Chains A and B, each alone.
Chain A
């Protein structure tokens, strides 16, 4: 096992989970996929493991989304523990915010979204360019557009909800 892969695991796993979470919107699924991506990296020993991981993870998330409709969640918590349930209001609020961001993200083009999530996951412009096939000079432009659209789409979503509520 390459030593540096273990190091990359330590430093990158949370970012990879976050990246995947914004694609599958299920933290357990995201962690499973992240684990799987690392397992594949162990086998393939890619040259630039970090960027490679994100690309493989993105592909897996895409496949996973296709399967999702057919497949039940494979983990079942038969009984949730009421004592540890977070404060309901807080949870509902966080959930609302999350789903608003999700809606906004989904309005971006796939390429814009990908670049934005990769940057947020901690990849450099160089890494993003390598993994997406964009020219390095285009990364900034793509990010500028992606960020603007995200912020606009989120604001528009909020406005719609206020109108809907009256």
Chain B
């Protein structure tokens, strides 16, 4: 019975507590009368300990598991904010964002198809822009360009702005140029900066109705449910929708979103001082007076 020694595999299974009962008895009987195998048992025990130790070195920093996504199917419970617990609301921002994504998929308002979207933008945008900001020829022209993509409007646009952009259609390149031209860049500024002179960053965004925001994105804009929200955009031609929501006094979550096909919004000039993260197609910024460590922890969580 104890003539055949045990092999390493059996010893490991034994030490792992995975040896079937019968084999375990047999092995223990053998160990009882075989010092060589007892020695090997101790060697293997040390080996297992060392291997676990090494694997533990390659362990990611311990973090809490994010909320289980399917649990989002139920409406989020009403949230009561304990005072001065930034991390508690940080977790809820994550939850709420996830819920926002989920609920959007269930939204009763069907996604606007691209062709309808242009028409809707055309109908809604100029009226609403006029209400919130002083209308400028430049802006009207931009609206037309977006809504109609018509060569005549584009030409008009070019004439007014004096821009030498060869392709008047709104392209990512154009948007990039616009971003570069944003204040306070002293460099020769094409397009937007000429007609729309340097405005402070905060004032650059104009409030738009939700219908317009929906029309731009083709879907319901992501936002945290049960929290007042304002939709904004920087100009009629810019297809980034900004949703601002105040979490607490002085703490604002800003969610920037573009139509799904166009990827995540880029970084605007001057925004590098803010903390931002991307959640898929969504750019998330948080502004507010929070302890530095909770801000970075929040950003860890908001994904």
Contacts and interface: CB of A to CB of B under 8 A. Distances in A.
Given A39-B69, A78-B275, A151 B54 contact: yes
B9 interface: yes
Contacts of B273: 79
Contact of A144 (B9, B272, B292): B9
Interface in B251-303: 267, 271-278, 280, 292-293, 295-297, 299, 303
Interface stretch (A47-55, A61-69, A132-140): A132-140
B13 A125 contact: yes
Contacts of A10: 65, 68
Interface stretch (B55-63, B155-163, B222-230): B55-63
A150 B275 contact: no
B101 to A, nearest CB: 12
B292 A81 contact: yes
Interface residues of A, number: 59
A25 to B, nearest CB: 8
B66 A141 contact: no
Contacts of A27: 60-61, 63
A142 B10 CA distance: 11
A81 B296 contact: yes
A69 to B, nearest CB: 20
B12 A21 contact: no
Contacts of B292: 81, 83-84
Contact of B54 (A75, A124, A141, A154): A154
A92 interface: no
Given A81-B295, A140-B16, A35 B60 contact: no
Contact of B73 (A1, A101, A105): A1
A154 B52 CA distance: 12
A35 B303 CA distance: 12
A80 B47 contact: no
B47 A148 contact: yes
Interface string A33-47: 001001100100000
18 contacts: A5-B70, A9-B68, A31-B303, A76-B276, A77-B299, A78-B274, A83-B296, A137-B9, A139-B13, A141-B7, A141-B9, A143-B13, A144-B11, A146-B51, A148-B8, A150-B51, A150-B54, A151-B47
Interface of A: 1, 5-6, 9-10, 13-14, 17-18, 21-22, 27-28, 30-32, 35, 38-39, 42, 74-81, 83-84, 94, 97-98, 100-102, 104-105, 116-117, 119-120, 124-125, 137-148, 150-151, 154
